[in-house]
Amino acid sequence: MPIAWAEVGIFLTSLFVEVTDMQMCFGEGPDFGGGHNFSEGCDRCTRRQGDGRPLMLYGRPLAEKIGEEVAAGVRRLKERGVTPHLAVILVGDNPSSITYVRMKRNACSRLGLGFSLFHLSEVTTSEELAEKINLLNQDPLVHGILLQHPLPRHIDSVAAFARIAPEKDVDGVGAANFGHLSMGLTAYATATPAAIIDILDYYRLPIEGRHAVVIGRSPILGRPVAMMLLQRNATVTICHSHTVNLPAVVQTADIVVAALGKPRFVQGEWLKPLAVVVDAGYNPGNIGDVDFASCASLASAITPVPGGVGPVTIANLIRNTVRAAEKAAGKAAGARGVHLP
């Protein structure tokens, strides 16, 4: 497959700008040595940078790290004659969804995975969608299935997500995977919530004992990230459209996760000083759910949009697809009585 050098150039340029924009932390005391990038995290980093700016929680460095793991996994699988394959179903022509699908296609191409797109009409019925999912469930060459959301209103999204075979639900949106996740059992964690936790860990921002306020209760974002934070011993409050005095609730949060799909909704005046702000929203015009300018004036750390949660979400999705392919290859080898290293 020919390399899209223009896309590679844009990617490397954006990575260079992000990395060179990081400031150095030279905290106090011998434990800090000669200083380190803010991306490596430390106690002092969480109290805002020396020039008063918040720590920027860029997702690209972590996505690159995950990409290295994925590429190694793809190489091992190809040595066994297996190419991990992601199938994406897109219903309708939502512009944001089209953008996300293109990014996923590019990531698969860059890391050596197979990719198939099934672009269905806006008027596709729930029955027609279920039939397509069933066909992909039965295809042994497809290891991961992603049903791009949001879906048209006339489709029962919960039933559609549940239709995906759990072993191929690499976006972790089905009821089976969510149930396992909620019980602390092994599951494919929903890609975006997992990305949020991964970013907090990558930048060494503490979760245990903190009060996390999640704004949004969707079954594929707000609820699963709340469960993940709870499992990490955070005290979690989920807010939604019926929450009374939302700004007052947000002001109690050490960690704020915005996941409601409304541009620039969360205002800086709502924040507790030095709160950590994770913006999981993506709206037309590259706008998140957080009013970045006002929130950055108080936050100790904040994700940008774009360039924050998004790259890690895609990396997690691809990593889950490779893991699904590894499990399928191991199962097939076991059925043949073959031992794989």
Q: Which of 49, 104, 132, 168 is catalytic?
A: 104
Give dist(CA 213, CA 254) in Å, integer: 8
| 148 annotated active-site | yes
Paired residues of 187 in beta bridges: none
| 251 annotated active-site | no
| 138 annotated active-site | no
Measured in whole angstroms, the distance separating CA 70 from the mean position of its chain's CA atoms is 15
Cβ proximity of 101 and 117 under 8 Å: yes
The closest alpha carbon to 162, from 172, 153, 149, belongs to 172
Q: DSSP assignment of 294-320, as one string?
A: HHHTT-SEE--TTTSHHHHHHHHHHHH
Measured in whole angstroms, the distance separating CA 185 from the mean position of its chain's CA atoms is 20
Q: Which of 148, 169, 279, 291 is catalytic?
A: 148
Cβ neighbours of residue 6 under 8 Å, at least 6 residues apart? none
Q: Which of 49, 132, 171, 254 is catalytic?
A: 171
């806006």: which residue's tokens? 122
Catalytic site positions: 104, 148, 171
